[in-house]
Structure 1
Amino acid sequence: MISSYSDLIQASRNQQEAQRLLFVFCRAELPDDACAEEKSAFERGEGGALTPVICVDKTPEEAPDFGALAEESRATGQAWDVVFIAAMSGRGGMAPSTDEAQQPLTMMVESIRLGHIGNYLPLDPRGNAVSLG
């Protein structure tokens, strides 16, 4: 079971084929037309919508440490609350290229926008797995 970014990196290194990781960083936002109850829940850290603000792909070797990955994301100036991660397996010992990752990454962003997040690992800003429900 993966409960942190470190666990994910270890699992990716144990795969038979080389991996490429897909990252979609999202900010929790409250819709403009939210009612008082929704606003109150949002202030408690519940509800809202997850809006993708940054997406990137990297090999596990390019992002072995969550702290460095989080720092790189902060350098964009985009605040985020949760990052969703998926993995792609390569072939013949080679990880998929960035070009090969573009379409799956685009599909991942759209899937998250639609609220379909069950296939992705969500992590908080400290790199710990979170349960979203």
Structure 2
Amino acid sequence: MAITHFADLLAEARRQPEPQRLLFVFTRAELPDDPTEEQRRRFEQGEGGVLTPVLCVDKAPEELSDMSSLVEESQRTGIEWDIVFVGALSGSGRQAPTSDEAEHHLQRMVESLQMGNTQRFLALDRQGEAVALQ
């Protein structure tokens, strides 16, 4: 199944035979250190920049209803973000992974994103639409 929206992600996670824990790393678009004039111009036009992780959370699919609820919850932190990257962690048997187990995976996800490795994760905008990054 091609996941093109947050609702697709939830449906697919709920269909899995093993219990899932969804990992979310929220990122904010920023100018890189010492940007060139071209980088600055593109960034001001809403293109380019670097995505910096600013917030992480893990959730069981049952804890989520829709993207607007996730956005609302994130707004209560006061941290602004532009793109959220999503990964999944499978449980074993009937046991879903715990938040403690997810912590290590979230940290590895953040490190991977900081190195620019975004292809392994689903990227969603604030409306829950899948985003293709270049």
Give the AA of the match of 2:119: G
Q: Does 1:36 align with 2:40?
A: no
How high is the TM-score relative to the length of structure 1? 0.97
| Residue matched to 1:106 | 107
Q: Does 1:4 align with 2:37?
A: no
How high is the TM-score relative to the length of structure 2? 0.96
Deviations 1:38-91 (Å, cap 9, x if unpaired)? 111112222111110000000001122111111010111111000000011111
The structural deviation recorded for 1:132 is 0.2
- Between the two proteins, what is the percent identity of the paired residues? 53
| Gaps in structure 1 of 5+ consecutive residues | none
Q: RMSD over aligned Cα, in angstroms?
A: 0.9
Give the AA of the match of 1:123: L
| Residue matched to 2:50 | 49
Q: Distance in 2 between matches of 1:130 and 1:118?
A: 11
Aligned pairs for 1:80-99 within 5 A: 80-99=81-100
Deviations 1:97-133 (Å, cap 9, x if unpaired)? 0011010000001111110111100000111000001
Q: Distance in 2 between matches of 1:60 and 1:19?
A: 7
| Residue matched to 2:122 | 121
| Gaps in structure 2 of 5+ consecutive residues | none
Deviations 1:22-45 (Å, cap 9, x if unpaired)? 000000000241121111111222
Q: How many residues align?
A: 133
Which is worse superposed, 122-131 or 43-52?
Answer: 43-52
Provide runs of 4+ in structure 1 moved above 6 Å: none
Q: Distance in 2 between matches of 1:32 and 1:115?
A: 15
Q: Distance in 1 between matches of 2:31 and 2:62?
A: 36
